């Protein structure tokens, strides 16, 4: 009987257990009725019981509790507790959490919540910047990210910017890798700014090592906006503005120029014939070649979709006239982005971008640049001597050409087409395990057109035979990528594992041809086939191959302890067998202190995290065939053979090669702290970094008698970069209508060359700039090198008692001559006294953004600046020379017996002192503070929007480069990373009105 009762008891117990076990199914969507894929669904109180939603947003979960409560979460959405009750089929609707959305960042081959990132990653919500009137996204982020320097070397329309992340790590290419929607690209101006959702920048090796050698200088990841389910959404944006530039050079008038030249004539061996000069003529050449220029942009976008298909189509037109006459830049963009769900576990996507550009720039190069000429040419002759008969004015004493005539006869045009596309197939093999296959391509076609007509301006500026030139180029990048991603949660342990393989190819071709003597100069006949003489053709081709294997694991325990480890192996055809492969590991860890018991009760503290990372990355940006001896063709028939000395074309060895070269390797360490407090109103990040670049690839100098064009490239250099970064932001509101934000960033930089092989310094900067910069162990890259000055001599006695800086006993020197410092104290001023004059690398950079909104009104003001960097004022070296070019007005204060209280040397037409040798007279403080952008906007009220059937409408006014405070006497302190100012195309001040509509 007892056994019967026991059997009945256990049977009932088992039946009871079966009765409590339930299968719950459901779907997770957002408020726009879009499916949420990859959302976490867990049983509250039992984190080991959970799952994630599939490609259809569906989930299935078996539970045994009597009153189950499900916790549904996804990055960017507010977590929900769902009481199941008696339901077995659920529909969960998640609401977007805008605060969390801003904290989702894109990392290599994936995304992470910002609080889980262990490396150094900076993010920009681009919607806050889209109102700026700029052609490229990198212009909009200038000064807004700690550790990222964005410099404009030229204000020419469509000109790319220079980006350096955490300093200059190598004398080779220091530009970052650009990724757009997962595709590595050569240029980013094919992306409409209004189509950008976010920009994420990977700054340290622990974050960028997953990209291997291509991430050696950091990675800029641009993510475009994605479609959402629902009816088609249409957006339209239009803007129109004007640009202006100002001549900041303090140049002499015609009368002043004449006066200076008259004084110089008194000591010139061959005085200028000033009787030919109209001293009252005062042509402002800079004004003659510049204009108020229009800039306009129009974008139209359509997006929408359903559970199966999501689509985005955008088109844009950008047109910028240059402020220098004759220059312009036009761009047309087309974009399509389609995602299609083939089945519950398979999804496909296609992304296609097309860009068509056309640009024309007035001439090029240093000596022939229009700005350079307009500044240096004397003002004492007119644009036309006889306009009615087309007789141009010409310089009386210099070889510089009439800049207005240069524009008139310039017919250069460049067109380019860029195709950027990718196709991907995502397969969910099992729950949490996804395979992605992707192919990507970036193909660019370029064509240049140039025609030099017959003309006569002067004997130095004429063309007696016309010439037509054509150029054609083609560049193709192709990538095949396969990645496998596995995400799994086991209790309090979270795993995110990625492995992958990539194969990449680059193929480039270039061809140019020119011919002379076209009988008819009608533009319709500007073709090579119309020419009768002087046909010349040249071309080249090159290729590059890379193969890579990659892996990464993200591990999180108790939602507070985080570890990231990655590894990448890169093989490159740039190196010889035995050196083709290199390996790049990284490791980083994070600790969320705010979730520890000793801080858990601090209600004011939202998050406090510590991060530390280490990694190695490589660099191989040294040309396509650095280890191979290459031959260059010569079509000039300069080789003589045989008894009759017949001339032949031939080939020659282009230079020596080092077959043992290997990868540059950079090892970096990063330590950071992140804090969020007061319900997210205060957020700040502080980081310290140290980066050592070893085995830097440099061209080793060789004696000229070796007979080669240049020395071999070898691993002989090392550079160290270190610094501190701070970013902080405060967001708050007063009442229900007024909101404001204050954010800023601050970065310090220290750069030092630690090795140059045999230790010999390397001179850079070029002859035109007096070889003003160089690289040397113990100093920053590209520091300025020359003589120090100490005012001017006041008496002959001072000259006689001073170190010898001229001849054997300072013979020929007079009071008023420049005094150069005997740095080493040996009594002689010579090249041994050249010394450090400053560095173009700033001590620190900073940015400050202030924004506020009240009801429908918005105001944003952004300041950006640099401190401690020096600029070599190369243009000034020419404006104060004792020649016939135009002059800087400081020469009006030159030393004379009646004007001794000055440090400007006397005017001397017979300069035995070599006054204009490279010295600190031309090295100036390049620090500046600039009001980079001011934007005022108004959002139309909903009462008007509903009548017009619009979702939103915004009117705005934006001003760019509005105001600058600086002690620099050149045109613009923002003139590039090198700090060498040679009088390039100035950056414009821009005023723009715009309209944005969504419907």
The residues, ordered by sequence, that sit 6+ positions from 365 with a Cβ below 8 Å of its Cβ are none
3-state secondary structure at position 662: coil
Q: Is 812 left (phi over 0), alpha (psi -120 to 50) or beta?
A: left
3-state secondary structure at position 982: coil
- In the 3-class helix/strand/coil scheme, how is 107-155 assigned residue by residue? ECCEEEEHHHCCCCEEEEEHHHCCCCCCCCHHHHCCCCCCCEEEECCCC
**CB 573 within 8 Å of CB 565:** no
* Residue 980, pLDDT score: 87
What is the band of 524 on the pLDDT scale with cuts at 50, 70, 90? Answer: confident
- Report, as an integer, the average pLDDT of 733-748: 91
- Report, as an integer, the average pLDDT of 98-110: 65
Distance CA 859, CA 392 (A): 50
- Report, as an integer, the average pLDDT of 671-696: 91
Q: Where are the beta strands (DSSP E) in 749-817?
A: 750-756, 762-764, 773-775, 783-786, 789-792
What is the band of 575 on the pLDDT scale with cuts at 50, 70, 90? Answer: confident
Distance CA 341, CA 190 (A): 27
Asked whether the predicted pLDDT for residue 555 surpasses 90, the reply is yes
Asked whether the predicted pLDDT for residue 243 surpasses 90, the reply is yes
E strand or H helix that includes residue 14: helix 2-20
* Residue 660, pLDDT score: 75
Asked whether the predicted pLDDT for residue 54 surpasses 90, the reply is no
Asked whether the predicted pLDDT for residue 564 surpasses 80, the reply is yes
Distance CA 199, CA 363 (A): 34
Choice among 55-59, 473-477, 591-595, 796-800 with the minimum mean pLDDT: 55-59
* Residue 12, pLDDT score: 40
Q: How many residues does the chain have?
A: 999
Asked whether the predicted pLDDT for residue 404 surpasses 70, the reply is yes
Q: What is the DSSP string of 812-829?
A: T--TTSEEE--TT-SSB-
Distance CA 838, CA 520 (A): 55
Of 170, 154, 416, 442, whose CA–CA distance to 162 is shortest? 154
Fold of 2-99: Immunoglobulin-like (2.60.40)
Distance CA 263, CA 250 (A): 20
The pLDDT tens digits for 277-305 are: 999 999 999 999 999 999 999 999 999 98
What is the band of 680 on the pLDDT scale with cuts at 50, 70, 90? Answer: confident
The pLDDT tens digits for 797-838 are: 999 999 998 887 788 899 999 999 999 999 999 999 999 999
CB neighbour class for 208 (10 Å; exposed up to 12, middle 13-18, buried from 19)? buried
What is the band of 231 on the pLDDT scale with cuts at 50, 70, 90? Answer: confident
The pLDDT tens digits for 886-937 are: 999 999 999 999 999 999 999 998 888 888 899 999 999 999 999 999 999 9
Q: What is the DSSP string of 840-894?
A: SS-SEEEEEEEEEEETTEEEEEEEEEEES-EEEEHHHHHHTSSSSS--BGGGGG-
**CB 600 within 8 Å of CB 657:** no
Distance CA 517, CA 454 (A): 9
Asked whether the predicted pLDDT for residue 632 surpasses 80, the reply is no
- Report, as an integer, the average pLDDT of 527-534: 82
**CB 138 within 8 Å of CB 161:** yes
When the pLDDT of each residue in the chain is averaged and rounded to a whole number, the result is 86
Of 752, 746, 958, whose CA–CA distance to 841 is shortest? 752
pTM over 0.85: no
Choice among 166-180, 601-615, 961-975 with the minimum mean pLDDT: 166-180
**CB 121 within 8 Å of CB 107:** yes
The pLDDT tens digits for 3-52 are: 444 444 444 444 444 445 788 888 988 876 677 877 888 888 776 677 88
Distance CA 34, CA 344 (A): 15
**CB 424 within 8 Å of CB 441:** no
Asked whether the predicted pLDDT for residue 70 surpasses 60, the reply is yes
The pLDDT tens digits for 952-995 are: 889 999 999 999 999 999 888 987 778 888 877 888 999 999 99
The pLDDT tens digits for 431-470 are: 889 999 999 999 999 999 888 898 898 888 888 898 999 9
Supply angle C-alpha 839, 845, 851, rounded to 5: 160
* Residue 634, pLDDT score: 63
- Beta-strand pair 80-83/69-73: antiparallel
Asked whether the predicted pLDDT for residue 181 surpasses 50, the reply is yes
Higher pLDDT, 902 or 177: 902
Choice among 7-21, 98-112, 838-852 with the minimum mean pLDDT: 7-21
Q: For residue 248, how many other CB atoms are within 10 A of its CB?
A: 15
In which residue ranges of the chain is CATH 2.60.40.1120 found? 2-99
What is the band of 2 on the pLDDT scale with cuts at 50, 70, 90? Answer: very low
The pLDDT tens digits for 354-368 are: 999 998 865 544 334
* Residue 5, pLDDT score: 44
- Report, as an integer, the average pLDDT of 74-88: 80
The pLDDT tens digits for 107-158 are: 778 777 777 788 888 887 766 666 666 667 777 788 888 888 887 777 788 8
* Residue 701, pLDDT score: 67
**CB 168 within 8 Å of CB 781:** yes
Of 447, 478, 444, 475, whose CA–CA distance to 540 is shortest? 475
* Residue 802, pLDDT score: 93
Quote the percentage of the chain above a pLDDT of 70.
90
Higher pLDDT, 801 or 714: 801
Question: What are 334's strand-pairing partners?
Answer: 315, 354
Q: For residue 752, how many other CB atoms are within 10 A of its CB?
A: 16
């Amino acid at each position: 009987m007892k056994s019967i009762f026991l059997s009945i008891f256990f049977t009932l117990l088992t039946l009871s257990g079966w009765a409590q076990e339930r299968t719950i199914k459901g779907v997770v969507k957002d408020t726009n009725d879009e499916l949420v894929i990859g959302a976490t669904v867990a049983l509250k109180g039992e984190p080991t019981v959970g799952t994630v939603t599939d490609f259809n947003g569906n989930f299935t979960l078996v539970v045994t509790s009597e009153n189950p409560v499900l916790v549904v979460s996804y990055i960017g959405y507010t977590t929900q507790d769902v009481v199941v009750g008696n339901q077995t089929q659920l529909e969960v609707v998640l609401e977007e959490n805008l605060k969390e959305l801003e904290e989702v960042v894109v990392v290599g081959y994936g995304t992470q919540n910002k609080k889980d990132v262990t490396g150094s990653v900076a993010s920009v919500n681009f919607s806050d910047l889209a109102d700026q009137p700029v052609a490229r996204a990198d212009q909009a982020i200038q000064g807004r990210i700690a550790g990222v320097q964005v410099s404009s070397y030229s204000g020419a329309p469509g000109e790319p910017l220079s980006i350096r992340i955490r300093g200059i790590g190598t004398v080779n290419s220091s530009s970052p890798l650009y990724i757009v929607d997962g595709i590595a690209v050569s240029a980013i101006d094919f992306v409409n700014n209004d189509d950008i959702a976010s920009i994420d920048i990977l700054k340290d090796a622990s974050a960028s090592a997953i990209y291997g050698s291509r991430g050696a200088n950091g990675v800029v990841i641009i993510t475009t906006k994605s479609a959402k389910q629902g009816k088609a959404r249409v957006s339209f944006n239009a803007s129109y503005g004007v640009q202006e530039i100002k001549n900041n050079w303090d140049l002499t008038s015609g009368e002043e120029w004449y006066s200076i030249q008259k004084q110089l004539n008194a000591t010139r061996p061959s005085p200028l014939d000033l009787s030919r000069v109209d001293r009252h003529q005062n042509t402002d050449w800079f004004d003659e070649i510049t204009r108020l220029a229009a800039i306009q942009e129009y974008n139209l976008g359509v997006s929408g979709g359903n559970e199966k298909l999501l689509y985005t189509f955008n088109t844009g037109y950008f047109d910028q006239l240059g402020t220098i006459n004759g220059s312009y830049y036009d761009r047309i963009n087309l974009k399509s982005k389609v995602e299609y769900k083939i089945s519950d576990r398979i999804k496909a996507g296609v992304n296609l971008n097309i860009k068509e550009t056309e640009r024309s720039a007035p001439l090029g190069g240093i000596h022939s640049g229009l700005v350079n000429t307009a500044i240096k040419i004397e003002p004492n002759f007119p644009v036309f001597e006889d306009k009615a008969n087309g007789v141009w004015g010409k310089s009386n004493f210099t070889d510089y050409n009439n800049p207005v005539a240069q524009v008139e006869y310039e017919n250069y045009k460049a067109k380019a087409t860029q195709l950027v596309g990718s196709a991907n197939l995502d397969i969910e093999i099992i729950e949490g395990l996804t395979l992605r296959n992707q192919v990507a391509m970036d193909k660019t076609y370029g064509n240049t057109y140039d025609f030099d007509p017959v003309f006569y301006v002067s004997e130095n500026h004429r063309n007696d035979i016309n010439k037509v030139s054509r150029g054609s180029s083609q560049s193709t990048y192709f990538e095949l990528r396969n990645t496998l991603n596995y995400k799994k949660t086991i209790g309090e342990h979270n795993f995110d594992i990625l492995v992958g393989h990539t194969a990449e190819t680059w193929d480039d071709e270039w061809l140019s041809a020119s011919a002379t003597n076209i009988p008819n100069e009608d533009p319709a006949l500007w073709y090579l086939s119309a020419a009768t003489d002087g046909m010349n053709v040249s071309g080249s081709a090159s290729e590059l191959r890379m193969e890579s294997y990659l892996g990464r694991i993200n591990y999180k325990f108790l939602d507070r302890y985080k570890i990231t480890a990655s590894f990448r192996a890169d093989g490159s055809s740039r190196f010889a067998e035995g050196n083709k492969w290199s390996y790049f590991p990284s490791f980083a860890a994070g600790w969320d202190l705010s979730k520890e018991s000793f801080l858990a009760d601090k209600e004011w503290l939202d998050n406090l995290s510590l991060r530390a990372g280490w990694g190695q990355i490589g660099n191989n940006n040294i040309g396509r065939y650095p280890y191979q001896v290459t031959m260059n063709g010569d079509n000039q028939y300069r080789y003589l053979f045989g008894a009759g000395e017949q001339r032949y074309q031939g080939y020659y060895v282009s230079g020596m090669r080092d077959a043992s070269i290997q990868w540059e390797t950079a090892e970096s360490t990063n330590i950071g702290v992140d804090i969020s407090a007061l319900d997210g109103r205060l957020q700040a990040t502080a980081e310290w970094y140290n980066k050592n670049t070893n085995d830097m690839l440099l061209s080793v100098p060789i004696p000229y008698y070796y007979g080669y064009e240049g020395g071999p490239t070898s691993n002989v250099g090392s550079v160290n970069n270190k610094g501190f970064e701070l970013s902080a932001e405060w967001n708050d509101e007063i009442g229900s209508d007024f909101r404001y934000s204050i954010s800023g960033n601050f970065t310090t930089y220290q750069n030092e060359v630690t090795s140059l092989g045999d230790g010999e310094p390397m001179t850079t900067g070029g002859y035109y700039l007096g070889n003003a910069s160089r690289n040397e162990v113990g100093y920053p890259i590209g520091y300025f090198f020359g003589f120090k000055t100490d005012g001017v001599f006041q008496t002959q006695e001072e000259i006689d008692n001073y170190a010898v800086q001229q001849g054997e006993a300072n013979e020929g020197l007079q009071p008023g001559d420049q005094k150069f410092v005997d740095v080493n104290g040996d009594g002689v001023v010579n090249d041994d006294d050249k010394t450090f004059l400053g560095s173009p690398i700033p001590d620190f950079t900073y940015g400050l953004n202030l924004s506020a909104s009240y009801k429908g009104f918005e105001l944003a003001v952004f300041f950006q600046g640099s401190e401690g960097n020096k600029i070599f004022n190369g243009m000034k070296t020419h404006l104060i020379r004792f020649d016939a070019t135009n002059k800087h007005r400081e020469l009006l204060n030159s030393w004379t017996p009646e004007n001794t209280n000055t440090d400007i040397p006397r005017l001397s037409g017979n300069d035995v002192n070599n006054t204009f040798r490279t010295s600190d007279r031309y090295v100036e403080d390049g620090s500046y503070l600039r009001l980079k952008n001011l934007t005022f906007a108004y959002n139309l009220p909903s009462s008007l929007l509903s009548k017009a059937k619009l979702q939103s409408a915004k009117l705005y006014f934006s001003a760019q480069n509005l105001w600058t405070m600086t002690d620099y006497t050149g045109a613009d302190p923002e003139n590039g990373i090198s700090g060498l100012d040679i009088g390039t195309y100035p950056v414009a001040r821009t005023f723009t009105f715009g309209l944005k509509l969504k419907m």
